[in-house]
Structure 1
Amino acid sequence: MVIPVHDVNPVRRTPWVTYALIAANVIVFLHTPGMAGSVAGGSNLAQLCHLQAFMDQYAAVPRELIHDQLPRMVPTGEVGVGAHGPGCVVGPPGYDKSPPLSVFTAMFLHGSWLHLLGNMLFLLIFGNNMEDRMGHIRYFLFYIVCGYAAAYGFALLNDTSGDPLIGASGAIAGVLGAYLVVYPRVRVWVLVPFLIFLPLRLPAWLVLGFWFVLQAVYSSGHGISGAGSVAYAAHIVGFVVGMLLALPLRPGTPPPPEPRRLMFGRQARPRHTW
């Protein structure tokens, strides 16, 4: 696994849409029940029930997306005591849910700080250049289309699943796929864990290609345990869709200027010798 830190690919305009998406994801996360203090851990039953009800209402559910089958009984967010002890109360839904709209809301939900920060790191590093290349409006539409494609692609493969699907990973995977097509030779500073974190400057095709291969391996169930908790198939679909949509952008894209002297992604100050 490699952790991207910075790409050597300057932009011509401020990536306002990328910044807005990051801000929106952070704000939604901070307002998600029980998530703001999740670093310290120790969520109580009331918080877990409230979170379960929140996710059921705003997350995308494959079974609902494909078959339009909304559940008759959903978590209410309240705690009750049943035959097996305390638990979350269920009852008829007190809201109207649109499965297609839930894909949009699910794109701004995350299950942990690590989930959020990992996604926002990739979006910040690679999204600014794609926004610069596409323009603000086209980039936003591209982001949303990739997110929808990833969600519905995953749902088609798991059409009986009632587990909530959340996160911006599918849309961001589309951004990564587009970046690979448009800027394959751009150098990316990454941290490689090998006893310590080693900083390396690698081409984008290697960094993103390796990321895609990992998603494919994880999606097949190899390499990790509990692969079902992460929608790796959604990452694959989003990545491929992003590549296909970016193909018309590749002709005429000049290679980015690269400073001759670099020190971990920044231009080194000139040194004078005596």
Structure 2
Amino acid sequence: MILPLAVDYPYENKPWATIGLVTANVLIFFLTFGLSDSQLAPFFLWPDRFAPWQWWTSGFLHAGFLHLGGNMLFLWVYGRYVEERIGPARFLLLYALFAPIESGVYILANLGSDMPAIGASGVISALMGVVIAAGPRSRVKTLIWWGPMLRVLPINAGLILGFWLLEQIAMVMVGVDGIAFSSHLGGFAAGAGMGLLMRYKLGGGWRMPEHLQSREDVDARAKTMFYGDLAGYLRRGREAQDRPGASHIPEWLGSSPAVQDPYEEEMLKRWDKR
């Protein structure tokens, strides 16, 4: 068994939007627990008798405790991360936008079918797509339970979500029934597209942190900071030499210290080769 526990990130804000969505799903589950399928049928997503509100209502209905629990775990792990990156208002807007997209894919893939779909997994798959596209180098704390082995390991988001995607495709190919894989794949694709847009096109609060951006961008900023610090270091050294009684200061302070420190020398060599 492999379960995600958290995306590794220095969280600073309470994920109120994610908490609200999880709470709403749990409350709706218990409020509708005793109702029959016929009573809830108008809120299912039906390919053969579609109504617009079903895009959103179907995502708040679940078939049982395992269905609800699994979806809420994934919503908490990936929703919390996306909300932290873009803020609660934008997060809720994305959530509302992804719902009709993944629902539409399910309807197109099952035209004329009388098999309804329920559950939040399609939208959650979209959030997973955002994470793998916008922050592929982030790490996911993952519970791995395999026989006697029970461990929590940090796993690259691109690896664990890529494995999940391949698993979904494999299940479609072998014809597994009872799960809306088209909804999962459609949502994931929509989320990945939005994640790429967040990473490369939009600025401000949508930009990913330094450790999730391209290595070239990070190195360029680090180079600027390093040279700025080095210039100040040299200036202070020369000023110290000019003061009376400073003859004890090593001579290299006024020459070329960048090649005196092996670490700095290696950094400069690497950057100069770019």
TM-score by length of 1: 0.71
Contact 2:132 2:195 (8 Å CA) reproduced: no
- Find the counterpart in structure 2 of residue 71 from structure 1: none
Is 2:200 the partner of 1:215? no
Question: Which consecutive aligned stretches of 4+ in structure 1 deviate over 4 angstroms post-superposition?
Answer: none
Query: 1:50-92, CA deviations, whole angstroms, 9 ceiling, x for partnerless residues?
Result: 4211331211101123xxxxxxxxxxxxxxxxxxxxxxxxxxx
One-letter amino acid of the counterpart of residue 201, structure 1: P
Aligned to 1:150: 102
Letter in 1 for 2:6: H
CA contact (8 A) 1:183 1:255 kept: no
| 1:9 match | 9
Cα 1:158–1:26 change in 2 (3 A) is same
The Cα of 1:209 is off from its aligned counterpart by 0.9
Cα distance, 1:103 vs structure 2: 1.7
Report SS of the residue matched to 1:110. Answer: coil
Once the two structures are superposed, the pairs formed by residues 1-274 of structure 1 within 5 Å of their partners are 2-34=2-34, 50-65=35-50, 99-196=51-148, 197-221=150-174, 227-251=176-200, 252-255=207-210
* Structure 1 position 175, deviation (Å): 0.4
Matched-pair identity in %: 33
The CA distance in 2 between the partners of 1:255 and 1:211, in whole Å, is 26
Cα distance change on mapping 1:150 and 1:198 into 2, 3 Å: same
Task: State how far apart, in whole Å, the 2-side matches of 1:186 and 1:255 are.
Answer: 11
How many corresponding residue pairs?
205
Determine the C-alpha separation between the residues in 2 that align with 1:30 and 1:255: 42
Between 162-171 and 129-138, report the one with greater CA deviation.
Answer: 129-138
Look up the SS of the partner of 2:158 in the other structure.
Answer: helix
Q: Which has the higher contact order (CA 8 A, sep 6+)?
A: 1
The separation in 2 between residues aligned to 1:218 and 1:142, in whole angstroms, is: 27
Offset of residue 256 of structure 1:
5.5
**By how many angstroms is 1:130 displaced?**
0.7
More strand by share: 1
Which consecutive unaligned segments of at least 5 residues does structure 1 have? 35-49, 66-98, 258-274
Q: Which letter does structure 1 place at the counterpart of 2:29?
A: F
Q: Which amino acid aligns with 1:56?
A: A
Once residues 128 and 155 of structure 2 are traced to their aligned partners in structure 1, the CA distance between those partners, rounded to angstroms, is 15
Contact 2:145/2:151 (8 A) holds in 1: yes
Structure 1 contact 10–129 (Cα < 8 Å) conserved: no
Larger helix share, 1 or 2: 2
Structure-2 separation of matches of 1:54 and 1:25: 18
- Higher gyration radius (CA): 2
Please name the residue that 1:82 is paired with: none
CA offset digits 1:83-120 (Å, max 9, x no partner): xxxxxxxxxxxxxxxx1101211110000111111111
Amino acid across the alignment from 2:144 = V
Q: What TM-score comes out, normalization by structure 2 length?
A: 0.71
